[in-house]
Amino acid sequence: MGRYLIRRLIQAIPVLIGATFLIYWLAFKLPGDPIQALAGEKKADPLVAAMLREKYHLDESFLAQYWHYITNLAQGNFGETLTGRSVWDKITEAFPYTVNLALLAFAIEAVVGVLAGIMAALRRGRFLDQLVLLSTLLVISVPVFVTGFVLQLSLGVKLKTDFGFDFFPVSFNEADGIRAYLLPALVLASTSLAYVARLTRTSLMETMRADYVRTATAKGLPRSRVVGRHALRNALIPIVTFLGADLGSLMGGAVITEKIFNIHGIGGLLAESVYRKEGTVIVGVVSLLIIVYLVANLAVDMLYAVLDPRIRYA
């Protein structure tokens, strides 16, 4: 297990380097002059501009710039923005919001999705199954920003104005605590939730037909034990795979949800940095997201061994 873990971590390094290289190159290619952007409408002071260019290595070639960046990153230094702020500070300011949002969305998606899937699979072909299939189909087709606006209007506004039930804040306010995250998290989770429900349904339906499930039933085990212990545990493998890969995309996909609900998280930071051509911030944020993605995938592979004892890592 330990050796496998180390091998996987080493394998992740080229992916990380490749991805940062690609992102850095894209950021480098952004049109316009970042130093001039700093000066706004005024013409940038040539002396200051030259000084800044030298300080941030902007006068060097792309490869040299990337080399400076990656060697700093390897030492845990995310660099600083052109206005002299530490990129790490900016990231740690924005990250908690996105992490809270993504984790809550993840919890909603995992719990509600898996439960809906189990119910649908156990009542195959009946009303509940059809209901789950139909509603997930609808949720998958409606784009996130549409879901966002519709839920904002129905749960955030109408519920308050028409029914006097003020529970979901229309816009994000930190003072509301976890309540502030509920609606955005629901929006963020919606599409993945539908996928999880469908995946659980299919996967559980397939395992319910396996020989060991029939054996368990024949042994006279109660249905809850047959489903929970024998079928579900095996059916969980593809679901865990999906959930693991999704954690990364939840954090990256929060851009739109954050915009609708006015949350100052990673998405907003990224959009702002693209606009300001702050290559270092863009690459820092995206690298972090990629690390989250890789770690989540690794965790999934570790979980396989827990779920299915036949899977062993040497």
C-alpha 159/C-alpha 168 separation (Å) is: 9
Neighbours of 198 (CB within 10 A): 19
C-alpha 273/C-alpha 307 separation (Å) is: 42
Least separation in angstroms between CB 221 and another protein:
26
> From residue 2 to residue 41, what is the string marking binding to another protein with x (rule CB under 8 A)?
------------xx--xx--xx--xx-xxx----------
Q: Which residues pair with 86 in a beta bridge?
A: 80
C-alpha 294/C-alpha 69 separation (Å) is: 21
Tell the burial category of 237 from Cβ atoms under 10 Å away from its Cβ (0-12, 13-18, 19+). middle
> From residue 253 to residue 292, what is the string marking binding to another protein with x (rule CB under 8 A)?
x-xx--xx---------xx--xx------x---x--xx--
Instruction: Please check whether residue 114 is in contact with residue 196, taking contact to mean a CB–CB distance below 8 angstroms.
Output: yes
Q: Which two tokens stand for residue 256?
A: 């739109």
Tell the burial category of 226 from Cβ atoms under 10 Å away from its Cβ (0-12, 13-18, 19+). buried
Residue 100 vs 202, nearer CB to another protein: 202
- Per CB under 8 A, 294 contacts another protein: yes
- Per CB under 8 A, 1 contacts another protein: no
- Per CB under 8 A, 222 contacts another protein: no
Q: Which two tokens stand for residue 310?
A: 């036949």
Q: Which two tokens stand for residue 160?
A: 């308050």
Total site size for another protein, rule CB under 8 A: 45
- Per CB under 8 A, 159 contacts another protein: no
Least separation in angstroms between CB 127 and another protein:
17
Residue 104 vs 254, nearer CB to another protein: 254
Footprint of another protein on this chain (CB under 8 A)? Answer: 14-15, 18-19, 22-23, 26-27, 29-31, 137-138, 140-146, 149-150, 153, 157, 202, 205-206, 248-249, 252-253, 255-256, 259-260, 270-271, 274-275, 282, 286, 289-290, 293-294
